[in-house]
């Protein structure tokens, strides 16, 4: 009777552990893909930043001052690159954590399956030694299962806090830009038929000396 109950319990726990292990493997793959996407985005920003740096260096070498718009854009590129790199590293850390949780649950599944097999052997051979070994392996599997659940819950709590910080970051950035009085011109800011304002001063009219 006890062998049948323990075997049924181990089978149920093995099924739950297998389901959670598969979900964590999928989450780890998704986080890894998102991390790769962020690194690709970082490379694109780096290329744009390098092109802008080359432009500014050429203007400086020719004796011209770079426009304030280019300088501001270069600063924005540097800030956005740091944010993108931090996001990519966070996604990579999430992938590693989820993979570790998958391994914990996979270990629990293995322990439960071996415990079930030993329970069946105990029923066939009528030897209680196999049942004791089955219970020991089942207890180890239960420990791995419980530790995996705790780790998954902790990781989900950390991910929730990180997501809330990412949502708050653009709001703070926008408030900082408003406090500095920053403003980005758009094509709609110019009236129809009027040319856009230029950063360089207008040329002065040559005066003709009176005869």
Angle between helices 68-125 and 128-179 (to 10 degrees): 170
- Banded pLDDT at 200 (limits 50, 70, 90): very low
Identify the DSSP state of 123: H
Contact indicator for 35, 88 with CB cutoff of 8 Å = yes
Identify the DSSP state of 199: S
Q: Which residue has the higher pLDDT, 90 or 170?
A: 90
How far apart are the C-alpha atoms of 147 and 81, rounded to whole Å?
37
Q: Which residue has the higher pLDDT, 197 or 61?
A: 61
- Main-chain phi, psi angles of 127, to 5 degrees: -105, 125
Mean pLDDT of the region 79-97? 91
Specify the pLDDT at position 61.
86
Specify the pLDDT at position 206.
40
Percentage with pLDDT > 90 across the chain: 47
Sequence spans of domains, the chain: 2-180
3-state secondary structure of 125: helix
* Terminal CA-CA length for the chain: 125
Specify the pLDDT at position 66.
84
Contact indicator for 81, 40 with CB cutoff of 8 Å = no
């Amino acid at each position: 009777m006890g062998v049948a109950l323990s075997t049924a319990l181990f089978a149920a726990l093995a099924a739950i552990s297998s389901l959670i292990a598969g979900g964590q493997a999928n989450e780890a793959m998704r986080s890894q893909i998102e991390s790769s996407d962020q690194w690709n985005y970082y490379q694109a920003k780096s290329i744009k930043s390098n092109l802008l740096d080359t432009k500014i260096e050429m203007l400086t070498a020719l004796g011209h001052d770079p426009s304030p718009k280019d300088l501001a854009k270069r600063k924005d590129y540097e800030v956005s690159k740091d944010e993108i790199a931090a996001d990519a590293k966070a996604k990579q850390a999430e992938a590693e954590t989820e993979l570790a949780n998958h391994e914990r649950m996979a270990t629990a599944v293995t322990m439960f399956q071996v415990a079930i097999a030993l329970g069946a052997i105990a029923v066939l051979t009528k030897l209680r030694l196999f049942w004791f070994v089955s219970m020991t392996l089942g207890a180890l599997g239960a420990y791995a299962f419980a530790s995996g659940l705790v780790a998954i819950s902790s990781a989900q709590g950390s991910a929730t806090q990180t997501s809330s910080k990412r949502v708050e970051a653009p709001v703070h950035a926008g408030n900082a830009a408003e406090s500095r009085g920053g403003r980005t011109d758009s094509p709609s800011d110019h009236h129809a038929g009027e040319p856009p304002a230029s950063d360089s001063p207008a040329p002065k009219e040559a005066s003709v000396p009176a005869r």
